[in-house]
Amino acid sequence: MKVPFSPPDITEEEINEVAEALRSGWITTGPRTKEFERQIAEYCGTEKAVCLNSATACLEQSLRVMGIGAGDEVITTAYTYTATCSCICHVGATPVLVDTLPGTFEMDPQQVRNAVTEKTKAIICVDLAGIIYSKYDEIFQIAEEKKVLFHPSNERQQALGRIMVMSDAAHAFGAKQNGKICGQIADFTCFSFHAVKNLTTAEGGAAVWSKTVTESGIDSEKLYRDYMLLSLHGQSKDALAKTQAGAWEYDITDPYYKCNMTDIMAAIGLVQLKRYPEILEKRRKIIGKYDWALKDLPVEVLTHYDGQNISSGHLYMVRLTGKTREECNAVIERLAKKDIASNVHYKPLPLLTAYKNRGFDIQNYPNAYRQFANEITLPLHTCLSNEQIEYVIKEFKDAL
Ligand SMILES: Cc1ncc(COP(=O)(O)O)c(C=O)c1O
């Protein structure tokens, strides 16, 4: 039996909606993207949402709309995917990586506190595996404590009046913590709709901002307009507006970037969003089965659902107690021989060439290294049949 790691869950409905978009005569950013943005904002309970071609673009442009760039520092975790950090490099700011709390995948807030300098403009937290980071309160407290060090360099930074707190919620669309849905906690939150994500548009992402931003006096409409300019060449009219008869003329406000979402992508997203409650429920059931089957094994798993958290159930990360990376790799290989695809989330950033070359040394991230050393991720997706789940469990137990 073949078990892929995370294939997209696409029904005839998505296919029909894409065909409709193709037949409509408008395939790039247009009515479907705007409607998808409206529905995402509604789902997240935010004033607005911006859809772009990836979470990476959303993270990057969220830093830019707040005027973060060269000369600034942005703190994030060593235990994440490169995009959490590469967005900092893309805007020309300096990434500052901190270690995880011992025995967890979560960024250590005390180390964040120690890393703040007069140059710190943002902290990026990661809602890993679909579970909202548990230390946002402390991160906001740090931003408050360190206000004396904060030197705003534009009106928006001045309005916020402190270090901006951002969430890389690539995994966590629809997750909840203490009754708040992801998008309402950090100042800015970015989701991924990449092909392997819970809700996909093939490639894609969304950025939202919470009340902490709007109540500081930052204007949502202007913010939205800036995302639009940044994602479409700095062009004063988007393609749809430009194509209206007689409305050809436009200006370029700055030589910006090109990372807009297309209506074909949004067509997939609109149907996925409609199906999303059912998708989340299916993931929850699969996690329940895995949790039950693994409960007496020498492994540690994440708690996706408890009194505080309702995870989006994105990744089933397992740590094999007392095992080395080599032993874990042997488990991955053995599963592969049985046609089961598993994975590793993540190799800490200081182990990757790009970040080694920037001076990061894994010796300074012993907790992140220990988390990585015995981690493997089992397949978790909504195309899994009960037989496949049983098969994964059996083969995983045998391999272990
Ligand atoms: C934690 C994290 N952040 C950001 C991203 C980037 O998402 P995208 O591919 O939509 O840019 C990913 C993608 O896997 C991720 O896992």
pLDDT at 183 (0 to 100): 98
Q: Which residues contact 361 (CB under 8 A, 6 or more apart)?
A: 350
Instruction: Render pLDDT for 39-59 as a digit per residue (tens, 0 to 9).
Output: 999 999 999 999 999 999 999
Distance in angstroms (rounded) separating the CA atoms of residues 121 and 135: 18
User: pTM of the entire structure?
Assistant: 0.98
Distance in angstroms (rounded) separating the CA atoms of residues 352 and 348: 7
If you search the block for the tokens 């973060």, which residue do you land on?
68
Cβ 56 under 6 angstroms from ligand 1: yes
Instruction: Render pLDDT for 5-49 as a digit per residue (tens, 0 to 9).
Output: 999 999 999 999 999 999 999 999 999 999 999 999 999 999 999
> Which residues are registered as beta bridge partners of 378?
316
Using alpha carbons, select from 300, 369, 375, 376 the residue that is nearest to residue 100.
Answer: 369
Q: How far is the CA of 167 from the centre of ligand 1 (A)?
A: 12
Instruction: Render pLDDT for 92-133 as a digit per residue (tens, 0 to 9).
Output: 999 999 999 999 999 999 999 999 999 999 999 999 999 999
Write down the mean pLDDT value for the chain. 97
Strand duo 73-77 + 94-98: pairing: parallel
> Which residues are registered as beta bridge partners of 95?
74
Q: Which atom of ligand 1 is nearest to the CA of 168?
A: 3
Q: Which atom of ligand 1 is nearest to the CA of 205?
A: 10
Distance in angstroms (rounded) separating the CA atoms of residues 24 and 99: 50
Six token digits for residue 286: 């699969």
User: CA angle 38-173-113, nearest 5°?
Assistant: 115
Cβ 350 under 6 angstroms from ligand 1: no
Distance in angstroms (rounded) separating the CA atoms of residues 349 and 83: 10
pLDDT at 245 (0 to 100): 83
pLDDT-based confidence at residue 76 (cuts at 50, 70, 90): very high
Using alpha carbons, select from 137, 139, 136 the residue that is nearest to residue 127.
Answer: 136
Cβ 231 under 6 angstroms from ligand 1: no
End-to-end CA distance of the chain: 19
Q: How far is the CA of 129 from the centre of ligand 1 (A)?
A: 11
pLDDT at 239 (0 to 100): 83
Six token digits for residue 387: 């037989």
Q: Which residues contact 119 (CB under 8 A, 6 or more apart)?
A: 71, 72, 73, 94
Instruction: Render pLDDT for 303-319 as a digit per residue (tens, 0 to 9).
Output: 999 999 999 999 999 99
Distance in angstroms (rounded) separating the CA atoms of residues 28 and 262: 4
Amino acid at 75: I
Helices (H), the chain: 12-23, 31-44, 55-65, 82-90, 109-115, 136-145, 155-160, 211-214, 220-231, 239-243, 263-294, 325-337, 353-356, 366-373, 386-399
Distance in angstroms (rounded) separating the CA atoms of residues 147 and 241: 42
- 192 phi, psi to nearest 5 deg: -110, 140
Amino acid at 210: S
Per-residue pLDDT for 240 more than 90? Answer: no
If you search the block for the tokens 């639009």, which residue do you land on?
228
Q: How far is the CA of 61 from the centre of ligand 1 (A)?
A: 14
